[in-house]
Amino acid sequence: MSTTLTIGTRGSELALRQTELVEEQLSSTSPGLTLTRRIIRTLGDDRTDVPLPAVAAASGIIDKGVFIKEIEQALAEGTIDCAVHSLKDMPGELDPRFELAAVLPRADIHDVLILKQGCDINSLCLGTSSVRRIELAKAYWGGTARCRDLRGNVPTRLRKLAADPGLDGIIIARAGLARLGYTSPTFTIDGVTLTVHDLPRDSFPPAVGQGIIAIEIRKGDRRALDILAPLNHPGTMTCARTEREFLRLLGADCSTPVGAYARIVEGTIVLRVLHISPHGIPRRIVARGPQNDPESVAALAIKLLADLRH
């Protein structure tokens, strides 16, 4: 049996840091294993000039595949044994050739608002490429905040914010920010002081899977599964299954303005959802069900959401 595991990943600073976290755990659980890393550029990395929905539409890639297609191709070809992803970048329904072998314990799920000092909170211009964040921002600030498209990895977005006098702030995931070492409530980029503010998770809920590092393998690859299974965090996997099944049933993609997160409370899954209707109306639901049946909780959430439309 081979003693080498080849890991595929994107090349951004955050993707590499997430891969390092996986490698650190593997060094502990499989000390005799030799780890190699293959960096793979994706369409989402190359096309930063237009919003993500436009990239997907132009390429014919369904859902969020712009960040994983090339990596999955390498996985299918056998040039890598597994792939490390941000779970929120993965489509709600995986290609049947693949499966999730493990997810690491979930990090902070919050979106954060990063602002320059002295900006007018009642008339913000914010940078984001996420349809979810754009629509949630309209609802959260009552229409007073404007959003401009802003693409790029975390350090790039921070530098763009610092350099652009027309931008007051950006909205970003705290998990990615923290994994790159930005843990202080205030820090400086290129001489510009920025402050970090948590956005409330119930009125500004995260993307499905936000804060979760996922490891994907070829379906039925017993060797890879045996190596990676010890890294899996069962509670996080249950929440991931709930959220992703909800996303699949909703038929959502990167152009759907919906945030959702699941938690396990005393053996019960609690799934909270905020969906913005085509008319800009926020629809909130909470679905609860047994911890051992995440799919039923997701189905209930879909039913509750549908009931609000009538």
Q: What are phi and psi of 273, to 5 degrees?
A: -130, 140
Give the CB-side neighbour count of residue 192, counting CA atoms within 13 A: 20
Cβ-defined contacts of 285-291 (< 8 Å, 24+): 291/238, 291/264, 291/267
* SS3 of the chain: helix, strand, coil, percent, to 5: 35, 25, 35
Give the total residue count for the chain: 310
**Among residues 138, 252, 116, which one has the least CA distance to residue 194?**
116
173/168 Cα distance (integer angstroms): 17
Angle value at C-alpha 77, between 73 and 79, nearest 5 degrees: 100
Q: Report the C-alpha dihedral over residues 226, 78, 40, 207, rounded to 10 degrees.
A: -50
Selecting among 45, 46, 63, 89, the annotated active-site residue is: 89
248/260 Cα distance (integer angstroms): 13
**Cα 67–chain centre separation:** 11
170/179 Cα distance (integer angstroms): 18
- 177 and 196 Cβ atoms separated by less than 8 Å: yes
Does the annotation count 89 as an active-site position? Answer: yes
Q: Token pair of 212, please?
A: 């979760």
Q: Give catalytic residues, as residue numbers.
A: 89
